[in-house]
Chains A and B, each alone.
Chain A
Amino acid sequence: MKYSYYPGCTLRTKAKELDTYARKSAEALGFTLEEVENWQCCGGVYPLGTDEVATKLSSVRALRDAKEKGQALVTLCSACHHVLKRVNDDMKNVPKVRDAANLYMGEEEPYMGETEVLHFLEVLRDKIGFEELAKKVVNPLTGKKIGAYYGCLLLRPGQILGFDDPENPTIIEDFIRAIGAEPVSYAMRNECCGGYISLRDGEKAQNMCDAIMENAAGFGAEMLLTACPLCMYNLNKSDKLPVYYFTELLAEALGVKEAE
């Protein structure tokens, strides 16, 4: 099985682990991530204004590219996932944005939101299945107590992203069980890490992340899992618990972490 793959700006550089371990794990699970040619940055933040069009075009290009190949479009970064899904929803359901974007694109065949956008975790849950994943685990992370950190961009708004129940998600906990570890549920797993505020107000982000870490540690978590490079950066301002990308633990469980 082949998927179009949109890595996004940070997975080339500061979040290489998130990308590398995902590719290795995908091969071990029997699917391939085919990088979209000439992809452009999604912008990191979905523009809420109803008259925003130009800021959505980079996403539309990637979505159209996947459509041409007849593939679903997979992302790993929480922000790319958020932006691509919301722009795709606009292209499907908001004629004003769709028409203007297609006018800009100037293609013969307009893009109407046909591409299926999937987060890598959704591929694991909905295409592979966590039971199947569990069967391929050769190095179960037995005894590890792991807190899932969802943050904002994977979940909200739930109606458009359709990733999981935005108030009571289970996908990362199910993933943690599939790789043989023990999920730790804690209250602040879908609270904000501070996001872009840390550029100018590191203290505010750190306070927010301290609270998240304390909450998770209080419930017995020994480490946190994230899918977002910015959450990773902000959470690391607090040194209470180590934080890993979910793909790193996946590669470890599948025994492909060290593979070339």
Chain B
Amino acid sequence: MSKHDAEMIREISGVNPLKCMKCGKCSATCPAYDEMDIKPHQFVSYVLRGDIEALADSKSLWKCLSCFACIERCPRNVEPAKLIDAARQAVIRQRGNEADLSPDEIPALLDEKTPQQLLVSAFRRYRR
């Protein structure tokens, strides 16, 4: 990914990372914090610097739970989850059919109580 992609991520997310005042509330409230290599508040800085390569490779893209805690609690309406989601979208759109979740994997992951909601949500998160 390139500088051009940094612009794209700002555009898809609708987020202005310049508004961030680095209070760290997003990372403090994130239930996936421990598993993220790039933390939510750092995400904002990466986008600002245009270091999109690192974001595209980050496992944080797949660890965000879409719980919207950082969106609710951001005092400056930067809303890092929107940036994480835009980076995830950009990666998925580039990969196309090489997406992160294949339907062939699904049967082995099911149990008798697996709700459809889990499958549709996972497909929407892991691929287009």
Contacts and interface: CB of A to CB of B under 8 A. Distances in A.
A binds B: yes
A245 to B, nearest CB: 12
Interface size class of chain A, counting residues whose CB lies under 8 Å from the partner chain: 35 or more
Question: What is the predominant secondary structure among interface residues of chain A facing chain B?
Answer: loop
A49 B68 contact: no
Interface stretch (A8-16, A65-73, A125-133, A141-149): A8-16
B117 to A, nearest CB: 4
Contacts, number: 111
Interface stretch (B18-26, B44-52, B108-116): B108-116
Contacts of B104: none
Contact of A50 (B14, B116, B117, B120): B14
Interface in B39-89: 63, 65-69, 71-72, 81-82, 85-86, 89
A50 B13 CA distance: 6
B119 interface: yes
Given A45-B124, A156-B72, A14 B116 contact: yes
B2 interface: no
B124 A229 contact: no
Interface in A49-99: 49-52, 55, 77, 79
B114 A196 contact: no
Nearest to B81: A48
A192 B115 contact: no
Contacts of A200: 109, 122
Interface of A: 8-10, 13-15, 41, 43-45, 47-52, 55, 77, 79, 152-153, 155-158, 166-167, 191-192, 194-200, 204, 208, 228-230, 232-233, 236
Interface of B: 11-14, 31-32, 35, 63, 65-69, 71-72, 81-82, 85-86, 89, 109, 113-122, 124-125
User: 8 tightest A-B contacts by CB?
Assistant: A44-B121, A192-B67, A156-B68, A196-B121, A44-B120, A48-B85, A9-B116, A152-B67
16 contacts: A13-B116, A44-B117, A44-B120, A45-B66, A48-B81, A49-B13, A49-B89, A50-B13, A195-B66, A196-B65, A196-B66, A196-B125, A199-B109, A204-B35, A228-B117, A230-B117
